[in-house]
Amino acid sequence: MEPNTAANEDVPTVSPLNSSPINSVKNSPAYKSPNLVGYTALGHGTITKAKLEKSPFTPKNIFAVVLLFSLALTFFSFIISKALPKKENIGVSPVATKPAAVSSPAEPPVTGARLATYNNLENRFSITHPSYVTEGGSPDDPLPIALELRYVEPAVEFKIGEEKPGWYIRISKRIEAKSGTTLKEFALERKLLTTEPVTELNLAGVAAINWRSAVFPQNYYLLDTGEGIFFIKSSIKSQNEELYQKSIDEILGTLKFLARPVDPNLGIVWTRHKYGDSWDIDIPESWQIRDEGASGGLVSVAGDYLGNTYQVAFSYPDFTDQPNSGLPDSLSGWVLGDLNKLSADTRAQAKTRELKVLQTQAQEVLNYFQPGSGELTHRLYVWKRNGRNPSRVVINQTSGELDSQKMQNLFERFVSGIH
């Protein structure tokens, strides 16, 4: 008769080493770890329902913990970013990016502080251009260059021809032309013009012609100044041609020709006179000189200039007319002391500027109305020239209709003649 298997499963097996069924259960894994879900200790009894507990590491619980941690971290980061001061990106190099094929062009010229005026006294012209334009020359040009204005786009990848994209204007020096030669004839003779059509126009107040090269992307201008011909070449090598052409037109619209420089001697023959260590000066040859006080540093001259009579006094003041007698402490203090003698209205008309006479500090005061008489004068204050006391030069008009500018021109020539 075979044993009852089902009955045998309900009967605990007694170990030879430990015959007690109770001890056998206590030593079983199920007893020692009753929370092992689904574990059945066969031969040691069955784990009761009370001993079964769910594990805390369920997917639902893990997701909730991760979500709470993320929200807490986000909130903490937000609080920290608001509480701490923001740092500027000083010294941090930006991430290098590839420039666009065509960069945005600079703004066209506008009036204001961004403009600069170039004056060429040798060729007697001026032109106003944006401050970002580079002034320079061009040794490879067939005609001598007086000025080159060049703007180069910041992009370096996009090129037309051999030059970087951008534009330039080149103005030649004044070129002498044959008498009776027209602008077109001059251009053909110099091989500047071949078969291109020519447009006549007025530029800078003078007659001009303009044409576009049939070979190069360049525009040419010839201007007849009456004292020679100006040659101007402009070129645009960029896809921003319309905007750059507008800039070129605006710049050329500011071109002006300057008047012939005034004769520095004012049409007067000057002779040099030296009075010891006091004065070494230029004086008009036809003027009268009073030098009785030369030993004390006083020389006075008078004469005619353009129909008016003027007097110029060179002196070393004794400063007895100052509120505080004695030498002033400084040049500026001396000048200020004389200006303070004027009324508020006349003091407002005075113009001062600093300069040097033989490497000596000096100040010029124009439109100084003499206190008491109200006579208009121009003055030069020189501070301790050649180690001597301060000296002064004063000019005033003694006859004819008052002309402050004419008197100033004469005064400046006297000042430049002090050696």
pLDDT digits (tens, 9 = 90+) for 305-315: 988 999 999 99
| Whether residue 39 has pLDDT greater than 50 | no
Q: Does any domain span residue 23?
A: yes
Residue 253 and residue 173 share a domain:
yes
Average pLDDT over residues 1-23: 43
Among residues 266, 293, 259, which one has the least CA distance to residue 279?
A: 293
Is the pLDDT reported for residue 209 higher than 90? yes
pLDDT of residue 12 exceeding 90, the answer is no
Lowest mean per-residue pLDDT among 61-65, 91-95, 265-269, 285-289: 91-95
- What tokens does 281 get? 């000066």
Q: Is residue 294 part of a domain?
A: yes
Question: Are 357 and 282 within one domain?
Answer: yes
Cα 244–chain centre separation: 21
Higher per-residue confidence, 318 vs 397: 397
Q: Confirm whether 219 is domain-assigned.
A: yes
Residues 242, 128 within the same domain: yes
What pairs with residue 395 in β-bridges? 312, 378
Lowest mean pLDDT among 4-18, 58-72, 353-367: 4-18
Residue spans of beta strands (DSSP E) within 242-387: 256-257, 270-275, 279-284, 288-290, 299-305, 308-315, 351-357, 360-369, 376-382
**Is 107 contained in some domain?**
no
Distance CA 284, CA 269 (A): 6
pLDDT at position 83: 56
Domain hosting residue 334, numbered range:
270-416
Question: What does the alpha-carbon distance between residue 168 and residue 248 come to, in Å, rounded to a whole number?
Answer: 8
* Residue 83 CB partners (closer than 8 Å, separation 6+): none
- The whole-number pLDDT of residue 201 equals 92
Res. 3 pLDDT band, cuts 50 70 90: very low
- Is the domain of 340 the same as that of 410? yes
Query: Which of 26, 48, 70 finishes a domain?
Result: 48
Q: pTM for the whole thing?
A: 0.44
| Count of structural domains, the chain | 3
The token pair that represents 343 in the structure block = 């009324």
Q: Which residue has the tokens 């002033």?
A: 328
Number of Cβ within a 10 Å radius of residue 143: 15
Q: According to the model, what pLDDT value does residue 219 have?
A: 94
Residue 314 shares a structural domain with residue 246? no
Q: Say which CATH number the domain at 191 has.
A: 3.40.1000
